[in-house]
A and B are shown apart, each in its own frame.
Chain A
């Protein structure tokens, strides 16, 4: 049978032709209606996959193009001519409503990438379809069948799903990445994604940056060229990458400089057009800081090496090869270019120092540190000192294999040390040859050096003094005062001056005068104390003997004076009424000279009392002005050649030793008379304020120079007149006067001009009313 619409040479045409349709619901092909025949003709000739359900039973037809979708070991070929319900059991639930919709409402149905699993290849497989169900009308224009035009999109859908999965994974990996990653979209660089690292780097929160132009969110980047970089990448597609770029970013409320490694990668859309930028970055601030520190240290090291003019070397201990710097060559007297082996260097070592070097190296292998000083002899035979320092590096097996170190020329230092040592020796010798004890102390007052004399005198060693302290040689009675005075000096920085007794090696204590002065630096800080102790024992004894002698002598002198004085006065009283003027004048002169002698003896005694600290005062209340009046009257009697100008004006009550104060006044007046040989007038004034009374005795005599005014109250000072004419007296009157006034808590002084006269004054506190 030759049926025209089944003329095709395809597999399905052949199958339809060969199938016995007479047993089927639609009968033999010759009986098939025109509409079915036309539909099948189109179907079988189409290269596009098509399927047809025909008639109320929905008999299945399909073409060669549809055939692959049924797979191997599936429905093909037995569903041809089968009822749809039987042929598509596994998907009937899905397709039945669609078929019904077409059959009943004559409407086409369209679905894209729809999952319609089918049995093929021996199993139910997930198959995706893009298809249309369209009605096929019969000759009576009723819907008689459903034409399925379809294409299997399983592969496309799977690829799409994979793509989506990939993107999901990418997003996830971006978000979880340990690098800062962000994606900006569009020409305004709107943030699409920013992972937590990116947010951390940017110092922003996700809600603040997402879907906003990044430069709006981070305005601080605008003037750092970032916008230009982003725009360039967006426009040109050229990737940008930066390493350790400093970027200022607002973190919290302050701008921080961060060092960042980052890149901007262009992102393309499906058309190959740039639609975004991915940034991948990393905060390397800490690493940069660490680098910088290392660089700085290296720089410092170089500065040190250069500044100290250090030669640098590296010795391979296994091969004995040495690498050395130009400076090291210089130190050894070579040019930088000359080749220098380790052996050659060792060859320059002073023979006496060879052992030093050897010992230093064997020590270094143990300790890891090399250090030694030695002499080297250069090619020109000159001698230099070097200092070698190094560090040993070890192999894994513990064997030393490398020494890296520095070498410096310390010749000048050594010379300086030598000079210092020479000086030190010289001064030590000098100090040791002194009979005085010489010692030094640190700024805290701890004694740290004693000359030989101290050890010779005390019989102690340095160790003994150092262990038990120097105070052990000081007399127990003097220790407290000694310690206090020394402490006061150390604290105040003022000179130390003290008399104390030191125990000699034989146990005898001898008086010493110790003096120490602080040595200060330019800023005035005390660097050390230098002290001396001088044996004044013999001088002190002599002084005591002298004081004793003065005391005894004055006492012994008094006896004849008493005798002379007494007999003269007896004679005067016996011859009082006689006419013998010569006798009377002579007796008067003797009496006057005995008075002078008495005064001298009294002064000597006072002096020894002052020295012994036994000048006694017997205090009483009296009127100073009245006393002055009395004394002036007496003096006037004895010295009729001088006028004393004084008028008692008011009462000046003081509490004092009347006898002693009159002694001072008499001294002032006698001096005024004595040193005014060519002037007759003496003026006495008295003034008082609410605190003290002041007596001023003014003369118009020879006066006293400024320099002498300082010394006039010292012991045994005396004025000298023109042509070396001396004035009688021991010169101790003012010394005693000063002592008396000082003991009363008053002041004594002088104002004078040579040739014009002097004003002596003393003041006493007024008595309490």
Chain B
């Protein structure tokens, strides 16, 4: 793992078990994982911790994940951060694209699919984030 390599991922998921599960999968790949269990104050957090990519559930307690996603993508300071949207909702893929997410993963997902998507997102961050 290179010193400058992008490896910081922010995971936003309100189901604690799944949040922890995704953290374990990602940490196992040596990614640096920051966690958040709701959708409140996400922008502030991003400003503070500067993640390379974001993995977020579409249904968050407190706020709709698609709105958070839109806000990130509309903010010039954060719009470059690749976002992976996860959802168990019918029609989730469409909504995710609409909100401006770069990747979509339907729940339940295979671990290898999650890791492959995360790798792709880090790759994208590498390209765009400088």
Kindly state the separation between the CA atoms of A555 and B114 in the bound complex, as whole angstroms: 19
Stretch in contact with the other chain, from B41-49, B66-74, B83-91: B83-91
CB distance from A233 to the nearest CB of B (A): 116
Q: Which A residue sits closest to B112, measured CB to CB? A: A569
A658 within 8 A of B: no
B108's partner among A562, A608, A609, A614 (CB-CB below 8 A) is A562
Stretch in contact with the other chain, from B1-9, B17-25, B119-127: B17-25
Kindly state the separation between the CA atoms of A567 and B114 in the bound complex, as whole angstroms: 13
Cβ of A559 and Cβ of B90 under 8 Å apart? no
Cβ of A563 and Cβ of B21 under 8 Å apart? yes
CB distance from A567 to the nearest CB of B (A): 6
Give A562-575 as 1s and 0s: 1 = Cβ < 8 Å from B's Cβ atoms: 11011101100100
Cβ of B28 and Cβ of A563 under 8 Å apart? no
B15 within 8 A of A: yes
A566's partner among B25, B88, B91 (CB-CB below 8 A) is B25
CB distance from B15 to the nearest CB of A (A): 6
A605 within 8 A of B: yes
Kindly state the separation between the CA atoms of A565 and B28 in the bound complex, as whole angstroms: 16
A340 within 8 A of B: no
Known contacts A551-B90, A614-B91: A559-B24 contact under CB 8 Å: no
Cβ of A609 and Cβ of B90 under 8 Å apart? yes
Chain B positions within 8 Å of A558 at CB level? 88, 107-108
Interface residue tally of chain A, by bracket?
A: 20 to 34
A526 within 8 A of B: no
Chain A positions within 8 Å of B28 at CB level? 570, 573
Interface residue tally of chain B, by bracket?
A: 20 to 34
Most buried by A among B25, B28, B108, B111: B108
A149 within 8 A of B: no
CB distance from A768 to the nearest CB of B (A): 27
Chain A positions within 8 Å of B110 at CB level? 565, 569
Give A583-614 as 1s and 0s: 1 = Cβ < 8 Å from B's Cβ atoms: 00000000000100010000001001100001
Chain A positions within 8 Å of B25 at CB level? 566, 569-570
A616 within 8 A of B: yes
Cβ of A570 and Cβ of B21 under 8 Å apart? yes
A115 within 8 A of B: no
Kindly state the separation between the CA atoms of A567 and B24 in the bound complex, as whole angstroms: 9
Known contacts A558-B107, A559-B15, A598-B108: A567-B90 contact under CB 8 Å: no
CB distance from B53 to the nearest CB of A (A): 19
A561 within 8 A of B: yes
A616's partner among B94, B108, B109 (CB-CB below 8 A) is B94
Known contacts A558-B108, A559-B15: A566-B21 contact under CB 8 Å: yes
Kindly state the separation between the CA atoms of A570 and B112 in the bound complex, as whole angstroms: 10
Kindly state the separation between the CA atoms of A473 and B22 in the bound complex, as whole angstroms: 57
Kindly state the separation between the CA atoms of A567 and B17 in the bound complex, as whole angstroms: 9
Cβ of B111 and Cβ of A559 under 8 Å apart? no
Cβ of B90 and Cβ of A562 under 8 Å apart? no
A559's partner among B91, B94, B107, B109 (CB-CB below 8 A) is B107
Interface residues of B in 49-108 (CB under 8 A from A): 88-91, 94, 107-108
Kindly state the separation between the CA atoms of A558 and B90 in the bound complex, as whole angstroms: 11
Chain B positions within 8 Å of A609 at CB level? 90
Chain B positions within 8 Å of A565 at CB level? 108-110
Chain B positions within 8 Å of A563 at CB level? 15, 17-18, 21
B positions within 8 Å CB-CB of A: 15, 17-18, 21-22, 24-25, 28, 88-91, 94, 107-112, 114
14 A-B contacts (beta carbon < 8 Å): A555-B90, A558-B107, A559-B15, A559-B18, A562-B18, A562-B109, A563-B18, A565-B110, A566-B114, A569-B112, A570-B25, A570-B28, A609-B90, A616-B91
Given contacts A555-B90, A563-B18, A566-B111, 16 further A-B contacts (CB under 8 A): A558-B108, A559-B18, A561-B107, A561-B108, A562-B18, A562-B108, A565-B109, A566-B25, A567-B21, A569-B25, A570-B21, A570-B111, A573-B111, A598-B108, A614-B90, A616-B91
